[in-house]
Structure 1
Amino acid sequence: MSLVATTRKLGISFFEYVRDRISRIGNIPSLGTIIREKSSSNPFGWSWMPE
């Protein structure tokens, strides 16, 4: 359920994401990449900065 919740919060279709990963199409970036991109537009202070 964690992957479903994460994709939902990011506005990505869970089934499209899984299909992209299984078929290795690569149209959808990794969730880590998407999270980093979205978080860069919402600065949370120095405690959230990557080391």
Structure 2
Amino acid sequence: MSAGEAKPTGEDLPVMENEDGVRRLARDARRAVREGPEAIARRQRARLAELVA
């Protein structure tokens, strides 16, 4: 990897839809511990607003 290249994050790798949902749930659980349930509720409302729009 050269100095100008970004580190691979794995987000560009294809994953099954269920795995993506599990990862999202795990990420939300970690954030709930760090940021509290209010932050989770804010993100869920924002996600819902995107779906409705």
Q: Shorter-chain TM-score category?
A: 0.3 to 0.5
TM-score (normalised: structure 1)? 0.33
TM score, norm. by length of structure 2 = 0.32
Higher RCO, 1 or 2 (CA under 8 Å, sep at least 6)? Answer: 1
